[in-house]
Amino acid sequence: MTWFQENLYEHYAQTLSIEKVLYHWRTEFQDVLIFENAIFGKVLVLDGVVQLTERDNHIYHEMIAHVPLLAHGSARNVLIIGGGDGGTLKEVLKHPVERATLVELDGEMIDLSRRYLPKVSNGAFADPRANVLVMDGTRYIEEAREKFDVIIIDSTDPIGPGEALFTAAFYRACRTRLRPGGMIAVQSGAPFFQPEELENVCGRLAGSFAGVRPYLAPVPTYAGGMLALVAAGGSRDALRPPCKVLRERFGPLQGQTRYYTPEVHRAAFTLAPSFEPFVRSDDPMPVEFLQTGT
């Protein structure tokens, strides 16, 4: 049997058996490997790091999309930076949005995902509300004049092509592209192995947003089985509305999600002490960010 081994962290690795290699080549930006695994189905690997599998990708995509959209409650125009596999786009389009713009740097990634991982996007790219652009996300944010209700940063880790999407300057630029009451959600790696990444993302977002809240999603194929995400907006309370409000907003989506529920939404923001971002006493962060325990 052939095995794929992911060595993302020093002194730790995870392995997945390869039943069949479907694709392995290098695009202009990254090495792409797609293979089949007996447990997780098709697996997408970029530059040696597992990005998603058919079996558990819905957890990540539902949590990065539905948390900000249902916290907002009336989003009509949504921007997705990255997300060339189409999973986040699929979840966004379950809402009554008028337009969902996806900006992906690697156009080949979109084509490969549609060919080898069609279940992930499930026809989302063909939806008339979808506007797909192949270009650098940072350049789009700088040049665009359009305003959005929600921005979702569905990127790889802050290395290589995804590095520019984790800077304070980029988050400031995103803030200018949001309408009043707008929100942003970003992925922030595996908190057990990358606590400094979560701390940095929260701190940089806090420089542009009054309310910043990290939350968690259990994704078995990510190192340690836990993914950190961060939502930011005008206030912390707005990111975690009362369950009654979330249930009302969730009504039209009932039966369309496999992991997300209003109860899961609220529970995801309750962090164990070991996952709370450390804040130095001299950090110029808003008081709302410091009060992470409520």
Q: Which residues are catalytic?
A: 154
CB 191 within 8 A of CB 179: no
Q: Which two tokens stand for residue 153?
A: 């940063």
**Rounded distance, CA 258 to CA 136, Å?**
32
Q: Which two tokens stand for residue 275?
A: 């996952």
**Rounded distance, CA 175 to CA 228, Å?**
21
**Rounded distance, CA 198 to CA 230, Å?**
8
Q: Are strands 227-233 and 211-217 parallel, antiparallel or unpaired?
A: antiparallel
Q: Which two tokens stand for residue 269?
A: 């923001």
**Rounded distance, CA 186 to CA 68, Å?**
10
Q: In the block, which residue shows the tokens 């995103």?
A: 174
Q: In the block, which residue shows the tokens 């809240």?
A: 213
CB 151 within 8 A of CB 174: yes
**Rounded distance, CA 68 to CA 290, Å?**
20
**Rounded distance, CA 159 to CA 68, Å?**
25
**Rounded distance, CA 241 to CA 161, Å?**
34
